[in-house]
């Protein structure tokens, strides 16, 4: 990579620059995946999937059971739970293997796109670190967003064939509910590319999208998962703006290049239609998930859309351009800055989450019974499964009034596991109340991604 800066900078086109930078980025990402001490994630459904996945008598029967359960719960994403059943039933029980497969999924998404673009596959992979939410496809095993991205990318590459575009759009919508927006994205695409000839396709996709939304709203109202969800909440709008601005930082290398010759861009019909497609899909997706918070694992489809918008414009007017020496250096440094920030944040995040999970496993393996309180409902439910699997005599509760009451009655070691990397910090009023109830802490250990508070309440 250093030849870009050391060997006659300003004598390589942007296409050559991005190819070299992409190999650099790919090497770092693959090295990080291989060197990260992965474990089963306490903050996701890894553990519960792992338990029942080993006891599935029939994949089809389990799929039907999961389908019914999720419908009753108010969710509809059959592709996700079918794939997860297959993964946890047939794959070796190794966290590293699962995350390598996640990396392969991200690679497949970019390979589909690279087949229809001028950009190299390595360059597209490296942009996953520049637009960090894309790396959450690698970080978390059970999430549906990777499959949304896969089928959305595949559908866009098949956009000239209406049958395949429709089929793949349907798989996108069945991967997670906000994926239904791809039908409206295609409707806008066909209008933009040739409204006179393709209006029937546009109407067909639009009507299908409306029908799916009506069905999804019915499912939502029948369950408890999304009760209180509103697309017009003030907090959701704020989170949308915040998430969009945060992802926008990754566009700095592109914005620099665009500023050097914006007039070079020739807006063909397919380019405009594709930009409309990714804008409708990506921005709409980000807006729909924002009421659920700013968790980056919700945002890979939006990040992929922003990548595609930038890459499409970049390829249209700049890939064959020979930048000057100063432009070369500026572009490379901006890319390294954006890549370094995104890559560093990702490593910090995933290593913290894995360390937090390992901390709970250590507590569960302790032969001395503990009462463990955690500031996260999901972690509590997964933690209880871990304790059951280890046949542990310890108990786990959420850090709330009920958990504090249990701590007050417990005769033994009370442990507060405060997870600070994934969940918000524990409410100060609850931690202070718990401290008063147990009579102060004997020991506090701060590991950065989590904090452990110990108190032996055993009566002598």
pLDDT (tens digit, 9 = 90+) per residue, 315-336?
A: 998 988 889 889 999 999 999 9
**Among the four given CATH numbers 3.90.930, 1.10.287, 3.40.190, 3.10.620, the one describing domain 366-456:** 3.40.190
Average pLDDT over residues 300-320: 94
Q: Which of the pair, 343 or 65, is modelled with greater confidence?
A: 343
Scanning the structure block, which residue is given the tokens 């994934």?
A: 422
**Does the pLDDT of residue 2 top 60, yes or no?**
no
What integer pLDDT is reported at residue 226 of this predicted model?
Answer: 63
pLDDT at 127: 96
Side by side, the strands of the sheet bearing 370-374 are: 395-398, 370-374, 413-419, 450-456, 443-446
Worst-scoring range by mean pLDDT, 213-222, 241-250, 350-359, 432-441?
213-222
In sequence order, the β-bridge partners of residue 455 are 414
**Mean pLDDT score, 412-441:** 89
Average pLDDT over residues 116-134: 95
DSSP label at 177?
G
pLDDT band for position 8 (50/70/90)? low
The predicted structure's pLDDT at residue 102: 95
CA 299 to chain centre: 6
| DSSP label at residue 41 | -
Mean pLDDT on 251-268: 86
- Tens-digit pLDDT profile for residues 154-213: 999 999 999 999 999 999 999 999 999 999 999 999 999 887 788 899 999 999 999 999
CA pair distance 280, 278, nearest whole angstrom: 6
Under DSSP, the state recorded for 426 is P
Tens digits of residue pLDDT in 71-99: 777 778 889 888 988 888 888 889 999 99
**For residue 152, is pLDDT > 90?**
yes
Of 127-131, 185-189, 331-335, 444-448, the one with minimum mean pLDDT is 444-448
Closest CA to 179 of 228, 143, 203, 204: 143
pLDDT tier, 10 (very low <50, low <70, confident <90, very high otherwise) = low
- Assign 395 a pLDDT band (cuts: 50, 70, 90): very high
Residue 407 near residue 434 (C-beta atoms within 8 A): yes
Please check whether residue 252 is in contact with residue 338, taking contact to mean a CB–CB distance below 8 angstroms.
yes
In 366-424, which ranges are continuous DSSP H helix?
A: 377-389, 401-409
Three-state DSSP at 357 gives helix
Give the pLDDT mean for 258-264: 82
**How many angstroms separate the CA atoms of 24 and 4, rounded?**
12
- Better-predicted residue by pLDDT, 272 or 389: 272
**Can you tell me the distance from the alpha carbon of 18 to that of 296, in angstroms, rounded to the nearest whole number?**
26
Burial (Cβ within 10 Å: 0-12, 13-18, ≥19) of residue 280: buried
Q: How confident is the model at residue 7 (pLDDT cuts 50, 70, 90)?
A: low
For the chain, which residues make up each domain, given as ranges? Answer: 3-352, 366-456
Query: In this model, does residue 9 exceed pLDDT 60?
Result: no
360: alpha, beta or left, given left = phi > 0 and alpha = psi -120 to 50? alpha
Inform me whether the pLDDT recorded for 271 exceeds 70: yes
| Rounded Cα–Cα distance for residues 46 and 34 (Å) | 19
Q: How confident is the model at residue 53 (pLDDT cuts 50, 70, 90)?
A: low
pLDDT of residue 155: 97
CA distance 152 to 144: 12
| Contact (Cβ atoms closer than 8 angstroms) between residue 107 and residue 4 | no
Tell me the mean pLDDT in the region 281-291: 91
3-state SS, residue 444: strand
pLDDT at 44: 79
**Percentage above 90 pLDDT, the chain:** 55
Q: What integer pLDDT is reported at residue 160 of this predicted model?
A: 92
pTM, whole model, 2 decimals? 0.91
Residues 6+ apart with CB under 8 A from 392: 364, 365, 366, 369, 386
Once rounded to an integer, what is the mean pLDDT over residues 108-116? 96
* Through-space distance between the first and last CA atoms of the chain, rounded to whole angstroms: 66
Compute the mean pLDDT over every residue in the chain, rounded to the nearest whole number: 88
Query: What mean pLDDT do residues 55-79 have?
Result: 79
Across 439-451, average pLDDT: 90
Confidence of residue 459 (pLDDT cuts 50, 70, 90): low
């Amino acid at each position: 990579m250093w030849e870009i800066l050391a060997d006659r900078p300003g004598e390589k086109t942007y296409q050559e620059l991005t190819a070299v930078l992409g190999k650099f980025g790919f090497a770092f990402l693959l090295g990080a995946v291989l060197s990260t001490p992965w474990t089963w994630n306490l903050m996701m459904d890894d553990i519960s999937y792992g338990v029942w996945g080993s006891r599935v008598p029939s994949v089809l029967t389990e799929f039907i059971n999961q389908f019914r359960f999720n419908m009753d719960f108010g969710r509809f994403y059959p592709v996700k739970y079918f794939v997860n059943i297959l993964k946890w039933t047939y794959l070796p029980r190794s966290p590293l293997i699962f995350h390598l497969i996640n990396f392969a999924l991200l690679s497949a998404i970019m390979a589909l796109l690279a087949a229809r673009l001028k950009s190299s596959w390595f360059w597209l992979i490296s942009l996953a670190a520049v637009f960090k939410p894309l790396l959450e496809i690698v970080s978390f095993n059970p999430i549906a967003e990777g499959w949304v991205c896969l089928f959305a990318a595949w559908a866009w590459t098949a956009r000239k064939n209406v049958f395949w575009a429709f089929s793949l759009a349907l798989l996108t919508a069945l991967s997670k509910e906000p994926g239904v927006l791809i039908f409206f994205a295609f409707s806008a695409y066909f209008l933009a590319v040739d409204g006179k000839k393709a209006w029937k396709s546009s109407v067909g996709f639009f009507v299908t999208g409306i029908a799916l939304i009506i069905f999804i709203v019915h499912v939502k109202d029948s369950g408890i998962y999304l009760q209180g969800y509103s697309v017009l909440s003030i907090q959701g709008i704020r989170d949308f703006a915040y998430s969009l601005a945060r992802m926008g930082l990754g566009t700095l290398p592109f914005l620099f290049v665009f500023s050097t010759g914006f007039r070079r861009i020739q807006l063909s019909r397919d380019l405009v239609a594709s930009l409309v497609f990714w804008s409708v899909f990506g921005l709409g997706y980000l807006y729909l998930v924002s009421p659920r918070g700013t968790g980056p694992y919700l945002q890979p489809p939006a990040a992929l859309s922003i990548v595609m918008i930038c890459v499409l414009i970049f390829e249209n007017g700049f890939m064959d351009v020979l930048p000057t020496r100063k432009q070369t250096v500026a572009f490379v440094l901006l890319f390294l800055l954006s890549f370094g920030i995104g890559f560093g944040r990702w490593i910090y995040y995933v290593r913290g989450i894995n360390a937090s999970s390992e901390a709970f496993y250590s507590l569960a393996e302790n032969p001395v019974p503990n009462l463990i309180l955690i500031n996260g409902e999901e972690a509590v439910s997964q933690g209880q499964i871990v304790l059951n699997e280890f046949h542990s005599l310890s108990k786990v509760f959420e850090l709330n009034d009920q958990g504090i009451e249990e701590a007050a009655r417990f005769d033994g070691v009370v442990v507060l596991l405060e997870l600070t990397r994934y969940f918000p910090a524990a409410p100060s009023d609850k931690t202070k109340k718990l401290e008063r109830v147990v009579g102060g802490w004997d020991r506090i250990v701060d590991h950065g991604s989590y904090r452990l508070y110990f108190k032996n309440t055993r009566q002598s």
